[in-house]
Amino acid sequence: MHHRYDYPLIEQTVKSFGLVFHSLKVAPNTLTTHGKHGDKHYKILIDGQSYSIRLLPEKRYAESALSRSTPDLLTEQLRYTDYLRAHDIPFMERVQPIHEELFTTIRDSTGQEWTCCLFHWLDGHHVTANTMHSAAQIGTLARQVHDLSRNYQAFHFPYVDHTIAYQRWFHDLQELSFSSMPESVRDSFQDYLSLAQQHIDVARHRNHSFTQPVISTDLNSLNVLWDTTQQIVGIVDHEHIGATDRVQDLAWLIKWYTRTEGIDSHEVSGHLAKTVLAHYNSPTVLVPDENPRLAALLWLSGCFNLHFVEQTKHFLQEAGQDSEQYNPLQLHLETYRLRGEQLTGLLS
Domain ranges of the chain: 2-120, 132-345
**How many angstroms separate the CA atoms of 170 and 255, rounded?**
20
At 193, which amino acid appears? L
What are the E-state strand segments in 242-309?
A: 242-244
- pLDDT for 247 equals 92
Query: Closest Cα partner for 216 from 232, 239, 183, 197?
Result: 239
For the domain made up of 2-120, give the CATH fold: Phosphorylase Kinase; domain 1 (3.30.200)
- Residue 32 main-chain phi, psi, to 5 deg: -120, 55
Residues of the chain whose pLDDT is less than 70? 1-5, 29-37, 60-68, 154-155, 208-211, 287-289
Query: Please, which residues bridge with residue 114 across strands?
Result: 57, 106
- pLDDT for 4 equals 66
- pLDDT for 1 equals 47
Q: Is 228 exposed, middle or buried (0-12, 13-18, 19+ CB in 10 A)?
A: exposed
CATH no., domain 132-345? 3.90.1200.10
**How many angstroms separate the CA atoms of 17 and 13, rounded?**
7
**How many angstroms separate the CA atoms of 280 and 296, rounded?**
19
Query: Closest Cα partner for 273 from 153, 138, 98?
Result: 138
- Long-range CB contacts (< 8 A, 24+ apart) of 176-182? 176/313, 176/316, 177/316, 180/319, 180/320, 180/321, 180/322, 180/323, 181/319, 181/323, 181/326, 182/323, 182/326
- Full-model pTM: 0.90
- pLDDT for 320 equals 81
- pLDDT for 290 equals 72
